[in-house]
Amino acid sequence: MKYTVLVTKENPGQFLAVVANFPHCQVQANTRDEALNEIRDRLNHLLNQTEMVQLDIPTHFSPNSPRLEETPWQWFGAFREDPTWGPLFDQIEQQRG
């Protein structure tokens, strides 16, 4: 499998290698080649210690929960009693059209 690695020359003689989408997987080294070898080892170690799991998260709501298609801002904030709040968001939605 191929991974994208960002290699940055930070200072003379200092290279930082970071695996894209794995920001905690990074190394610093004195040369570009050394950085790439070390990041390959670090990523290999990480992947051998990692389990990929997919979770199914239900999207149901309780009867008192706001629905996604409703404006949730009406339930909190300093302007929740403001009668112009709803029409303002209606106008914004119409302009998005």
Q: For 30-83, what is each residue's pLDDT tens digit? A: 999 999 999 999 999 998 998 888 888 877 666 666 555 555 555 556 666 677
CA gap 54, 96 in Å, rounded:
34
Query: CA 19, CA 7: separation in Å to the nearest integer?
Result: 9
pTM of the shown model? 0.54
pLDDT at residue 21, as a whole number: 87
For the chain, give every domain's residue range: 5-48, 68-97
Structure confidence by residue, pLDDT tens digits, 2-23:
999 999 999 888 999 999 988 8
The residues, ordered by sequence, that sit 6+ positions from 34 with a Cβ below 8 Å of its Cβ are 15
Is 26 within 8 Å of 36 (Cβ atoms)? no
Instruction: Look at residue 9 in the predicted model and tell me its pLDDT.
Output: 95
What per-residue confidence (pLDDT) applies to 50?
Answer: 86
